[in-house]
Structures are given as structure tokens and as C-alpha cells.
Structure 1
Amino acid sequence: MKSLIKVIIYCSLLISHSALAGLAKVQVNGFDLEYELAGKGKHTILLEAGGSAGLSDWDPVFESLTKHGKVIRYSRIGNGDSAQVKKNYSSEEYAAEAVLLLKTLKIEEPVVYVAHSYGAYIARVFAATYPNHIKALMLIEPASEHDVDIMRAIDLPRAEKEIAVIKLDDMKNGMSNQYLDFWAKRSLPNYPQITDIPVTVIASVKKYKKPSVLFFTDKAREMWGDLHSKWANAFPQGEIVITNKSYHYPQKDEPEMVVAQVVKLLERTK
């Protein structure tokens, strides 16, 4: 019996070690930052998770993407298993740290930046500020400064109340690292500084049975899809992908679709 227990423990340790074998840490701005780098190919793909999320948010698509290029995923400082720093980070600071990460990993070629939710806000700043470091951009369910505009257009008094509660909840849930920056300013609303590169925007219009706030009502879902369609098509090489099969996490609900769209983006990237 004892021998059997030892074998089970040994096998469990092997599995655990194998699952974490690709994870590592580097120092960025003096803090530990966890990352994983795997795969090889013509393109380097940088994955940016959403607000308060770590690199595990990319679990459903990471391995598949490594078959199409070199893939880097990481947890921003304050998230995941990176250093738990509490400060009022700006998207500009996060973008600068993404550049430092690439330099530390000796990634010299421009990346294909794939970002989700608040991470897309960072990716937009990155693309506008460091054009020589990026050659294509994918924004998945991108958070934007226009989110609150949708709510206000539907019902202004109710929107103001709900927005105030959301801000407080974000702070309470430890998301102040990101959201103080996001809620506080409306910089570069259309990001005309982004150069002429391939851009794909994936937006979900799936309707909620019991919407908790205005932003999830049927009307808001329609406005969300329309907003991102117009925005994506404003890019010279922009493409919009509208889905009604997932909510805010297409990479989890529709991983095959997301991988297929990344591959399509790679195919139209020089």
C-alpha cells in the first residue's frame, strides 16, 4: 500500500512539474514577472490578459498557438504569480513594461500583439507609442473609453449610478492597478497614431438572459457590435469578427475560433 502511495505521489509531482515546466520569472523594473515562452516560427505573438488577470487566461489557446509561432504570455506586475505590487498603474506604464519584457527576453523583432479586454487598452497604447515593436494587432472584446458612452446613451441617470458602483467594485476587488487609469481619462479615443498594420477586432454580441447592468442589455449589445465594427473598419487593414456564441471571454468559450482568427491575422502579416 505504501509503495502504491509513493508511486501516486511521484506521478503527481511529475505531472505538476510538466505542467509548470514552461513557466519562468524575470526581473522587470526590479519586480518578479512570470511568463511563458514556447513555440517557434516566423512570427512572435505576445498575449496580454485582461484586467486583474494572469497568464492562465490564455490556457485554452496557448498550446495551439505555439504551433503557429513563438508565443509569449505573461502576468503583469500585480497579477497572477508576478510580484503583488499595489499602485495606480497607467496603461502607459504597462506598455513600457511590456517593452522591457521583450528586451529582457531578447525579442528584437516586432510582435503580433493579441490582447483581451483591459489588455487591449494597453495594446493600443503600445501600438501608438512603440510602432517599431509591433507589426499586427488583435483586440478581443476590447475595453474602451466608449464603454460608458453606450450606457449613458441608453439611460443617463441609471448609467451614472451603475458606473459609480462598478468603479467601487473594481477598487474593492483589487483592480485599482488598472482601472483607476482606465476610468480616469479618455486619452486617444480613436488612436490615429497606430500605423498602417493588420488589425483584427473580435467582439461578442451574445445577449444576456438577465442583464445585471445597462451594458449587458440587448440594446447595449447591438451598440457594442456596431461600435467595434465601425472602429475596426476605420483601420486601413482592419477586420471585424462578430460572435454571438460567447460572452466576454471568446478565448475560453470559442478557443478554436480565436486560434483560427490569430492564424488568419498571421497570414496577412508581413
Structure 2
Amino acid sequence: MSIKILTILTLLVPTLSAFSQEKMVSVNGVNYHVLTTSLEQRKPSQPVLVFENGMGMGLGNWNTITDSLANDAPVFLYDRQGVEKSEMVYQQPTPQKIAANLKLLLKELKIEPPYILVGHSMGGIYVRAFAGYYPNDIAGLVFVDPADFTETKADWNQIFRTIGVSEKQIDEMLIKRLYTPLKVDSSRYAAWSEGQVLTDLRKTDFAELSSLPIPQVPILFFVGGKLEVPMERRSKDYDHERFFEVKNSSNMLRWRRFIHASSKGGALIYLSNSGHFVHRDDAAIVIGNIRMMLKAMEK
């Protein structure tokens, strides 16, 4: 195994108590783009905020909240394989592989546990995986409008039954969603391959993730309640607004159960004026709740 660090750029960004370092880190011969803030001021056993981006998104998507949070805790951000400055890898980014890569990155940078994992969208899948494979490393979990890793095919079908879609249509939509092959998009391979991984997980009702332990730590879910699909892209076969409402309600029921699986509890925050990018639409609320989580851990 060959692991080395290649520092290509260091950014000194003074704030009240934080500065950032941007690096390229090589793990098993693959270079990853990494940004850390406030690590030098880390106190003994203080949790580090570790961020997983949405599907095909770069680490800059978190900039609405990370600068502020870096005054409260050390921050680690990175781009997964093939995203932004990180090197392309033509392999399926399965949850187990991504978790193992992240573990190696943190280890090489000498960023020891505990971690508070924060994941948006597809990043929520990867946060759930890391927390399950390395539960003893985790101090808290934060899911920002995540892809629903608790969903089953039966759950999905029931949403459409609730809004009055016929069984024939439901079967046709399920085949199109999960079993219709898509041509490889080599120009956007990172996002395409993550989408394929998500589809494969849905086919198995997320068996890999549901078999993993849930760490006994505080858990936060932030849920966007605003439908952002443009009118011209909404379904002509069913009421898209009603679908979004029922789907959100179904997801939140299962996410509450996930929270209750931890003895440390947590919260589900529904933000009716936020879309999928909750951390950008309601940054202050996301920052405030993560700060409360950090404060509670100091006691």
C-alpha cells in the first residue's frame, strides 16, 4: 500500500480562531483534494466535523456553513474520486469502498476520532456506511436532506398507491427506475457511477447498510420541504406535488425510527422553505443546531 501526501497549495485564511489548509492527499496511488480548518486548535478528544458531499458535488458546496462552524470545531472536507480536483477512478464508489478511503485519508492526516459526520444527499448514504463500518469512531451524525437509505421497494410503491397510481403504472415506473440500464456517462463518470451505486442499493432495499450497526450517538436530520422540480419537468402521470408531500412524510417516519434506534436521541428538523440544499437555503438553522450538538458534547 502506497500512501503519501502531496501539498500543492496552502491557504491561510484568518478568522477569529481558524485557518485552513488545502492539500492533495494520495491514498493507494489516488490523489484526493482535501481542505481542513482549525485542526491546529483542536482540543483533546474534541470531535472533528467530517463532511460528505452530495452526488458529484465538490467540497465548496458546504461554504455556507463550514466557515462559521470552524470557529466551534475542526473541519475536514474532501472531494470523492473524480470530483473537482480529486483524481478519477473508474471503479464503482460503493459505500464500503468510500468508507475505507475516508478512513485512510483521516488516518494519514493524523485526524483521530471522534468524528461528527455530516452528509448531504448521496453523502448521507456514505455517512451511514462509515458510521456502520466504524461505529466506535463516531460522536454524532448529521443528515442534510439525505438520499433515503431506509427505503424499500415496498415503501416506494406504497407512496404511489397512496396518491392513486394504478398497479400497472407502479410496476412500469419501478422497472424504469431500477432495472432499465443507462449508458455509461464517461464525461461525468463520478456523478454517474454514484447514481449507479444508489440504484444498486435500492434494488436490495439497502441491505448492505441496514445490516450495519447504528452508533449510539446524537443524530440530526434536516429535511427540505420545498418542491423544486420545475413545472415543465413534473410528471404528467400523477400529481407531483402530492407525491413529494407523501414521500417526504414517509421518509420522515422512517428517519424518526432511525433516530430512536440511538439511545442518545436527536432531532428531525423540517424546513418548509428549504429545498434539497438545506444548508444553503437555511444555513443559520443548520449551523445553530450543529453548534447545539457540539455544546452538548462539552458537558
Using structure 2 for the length normalisation, give the TM-score.
0.75
Q: Which residue of 1 aligns with 2:193?
A: 177
Q: Which residue of 2 aligns with 1:34?
A: 33
Q: Which residue of 2 aligns with 1:263?
A: 291
Query: How many residue pairs end up in the alignment?
Result: 255
Shift of 1:152: 2.8
Distance in 2 of aligned mates of 1:70 and 1:143 = 26
**Aligned-partner residue type, residue 197 of structure 1:** V
Q: Does 1:201 align with 2:221?
A: yes
Q: Which residue of 1 aligns with 2:157?
A: 152
Residues 189, 127 of structure 1: alpha-carbon distance in 2 compared, 3 angstrom cutoff: closer
Identical counterparts, % of pairs: 21
Distance in 2 of aligned mates of 1:144 and 1:167 = 21
1:120-162 deviation per Cα after TM superposition (whole angstroms, max 9, x unaligned): 1011111111012211100111112428656533141463365
Structure 2 spans left out of the alignment, 5+ residues: 1-10, 14-18
Check whether the contact 1:118–1:142 (CA below 8 A) recurs between aligned residues.
Answer: yes
- Is the deviation greater in 155-164 or in 233-242? 155-164
Distance in 2 of aligned mates of 1:108 and 1:248 = 31
Check whether the contact 2:106–2:112 (CA below 8 A) recurs between aligned residues.
Answer: yes
1:209-220 maps to which residues of 2 (within 5 A)?
Answer: 210=231, 212-213=234-235, 217-220=241-244
Using structure 1 for the length normalisation, give the TM-score.
0.82
Distance in 1 of aligned mates of 2:274 and 2:180 = 22
**Aligned-partner residue type, residue 72 of structure 1:** F
Distance in 2 of aligned mates of 1:103 and 1:226 = 38
1:53-110 deviation per Cα after TM superposition (whole angstroms, max 9, x unaligned): 1111111111111011000111011112100222212111001111011101101121
Residues 163, 108 of structure 1: alpha-carbon distance in 2 compared, 3 angstrom cutoff: same
After superposition, the CA RMSD in angstroms is 3.0
- Is the deviation greater in 194-203 or in 153-162? 153-162
Residues 65, 148 of structure 1: alpha-carbon distance in 2 compared, 3 angstrom cutoff: farther
Check whether the contact 1:205–1:222 (CA below 8 A) recurs between aligned residues.
Answer: no
1:131-142 maps to which residues of 2 (within 5 A)?
Answer: 131-142=135-146
Structure 1 spans left out of the alignment, 5+ residues: 1-16
Distance in 2 of aligned mates of 1:37 and 1:215 = 44
Residues 21, 106 of structure 1: alpha-carbon distance in 2 compared, 3 angstrom cutoff: closer
- Is the deviation greater in 47-56 or in 22-31? 22-31
Q: Which residue of 1 aligns with 2:59?
A: 55
- Aligned partner of residue 239 in structure 1, secondary structure: strand
Q: Which residue of 1 aligns with 2:261?
A: 235
